[in-house]
Structure 1
Amino acid sequence: MRMIEILDAGELRRARRSGALVADILATLRDRCTVGTNLLDVDRWAKAMIIDAGAQSCYVDYAPSFGRGPFGHYICTSVNDAVLHGRPHDQVLADGDLVSLDLAVSLDGIAADSAVSFLVGDTRPAESVALIETTRRALAAGIAAAGPGVRLGDVSHAIGTVLSGAGYPVNTEFGGHGIGSTMHQEPHVPNLGRPGRGYRLRPGLLLALEPWVMTDTDELVTAEDGWTLRSATGCRTAHSEHTIAITEDGAEVLTLAPR
């Protein structure tokens, strides 16, 4: 396992600024995503806001082993059956589309990561509403479980209990992760786990918790772009994520949307 990064007080102050920026950009983009919005425009808007803030994208040059070359865009835009790493392309949003926006930005050397799922337009299929709400509740449960001395398995168990309890299959290949001077760090935070097991959380640790589910499968397929992960059955998907800091007395959410 790679070394787990623990932030000092000064780095935590910078992390709060990174988190606030990510939250602000995501809230703005969500408001701009309406019927007729093109995903490439969403990417351009994200780029402009990141650059105007003096920040850096964590995605443009991101080239892990599971992707096909550098990601090359500033935000992940996943629609309907796409759930993770959705590469922006020439697609116009339609009424009733389920959109997930995932954004990671580094400001002053510290990264923050957050994702939100929502419906576009006036059509609100009950199944999609339930899917989104379940990921939000699972995220809230994971945050509530986190704190100093807590085992990582307790956080994963809290998330997984909500997801499984709602009847959704849970994929553990991709999940939450440590974050700090880089976007993806140890420890891996699966969305299903056994309580009392795993790494013991410490103050100064940053985690990106990200419950995501697909309606009727836990199997992913990779799209032709080499990046976008879709449900194997073509069912709808949803994804919620916050970056949190473990503190002396609990967990602080760094990526809360501005009121």
Structure 2
Amino acid sequence: MGDEVRRDWWKKEKEEWEAYWKVRDLDSRGTIFPRMKYYVHKWWDAPSTWFRERVVEPLHEKNRLPYYHFKYARVPEIDQCGVNDFGCIHEAREQFRKDKFVDGYILQILKMRYDRCMVYNFPNPAPCAQTVEDLEEADLNFFIKYGELGSEGDVKDAYMKQKHRLIWERRNPEIMEERAQKYAEHKEQLKNGQFDHSFWKKGLFYMDKKNYEAPYEFHLQKALFEGDKPLSKDWEYYKKVSEDPEFDKEQGKTSNVRMW
């Protein structure tokens, strides 16, 4: 499977490189200086391309060693451990820490893909729609599992948070049904080439509830590139919203910049 993927990748890479030179050739026809640049660049590229395709790649294929992605054996999760089985609890805690590191690195990779895509396609971000979608969805899932636990949060805290979340979803089925409907509509729009980033981000950064905290506080509960801003730092936020219709009335509903 790995060899087929690698060969397909090299084939696609070669086709893209040939297409690049074809475009350069067509663009420079009927000109003087661009045509000279084309021939100089082509002459400079030909030896290195020949050496790569005729010498380097055959040697790699001949001497390639099998590579196996190392997989750690999974230990029982915290919900499978006995109350007094401290060894099992310790292993589940260490597995949770490792999973958090892995998920954080996955987010960093998605963020780097997003940055490269936006820079490469500037000023047209349309080709990066799926990249943005993958990043936002992964970031949301990361926060659902690890968010608001603080730097000292462990597997027990995450387990209790998950139980509370499931209980809340069961008590509010109408909200979950509406969310599922909105999510399905968003995916359908994305499939049809219409990407609405406001589905993930509402308003501007200063209007987000996660910024309702002192700027000097920092907790290691979200990915480092995103920062760490608990959604419920103001513990009475939802109470204030329900009691005062004018409190934070524009939260997530507008992107107008207010100068005062």
Q: TM-score, normalization: structure 2?
A: 0.27
Larger helix proportion, structure 1 or 2?
A: 2
Larger strand proportion, structure 1 or 2?
A: 1
Q: TM-score, normalization: structure 1?
A: 0.27
The structure, 1 or 2, with the larger RCO (C-alpha pairs under 8 Å, 6+ apart) is 1
The structure with the largest alpha-carbon Rg is 2
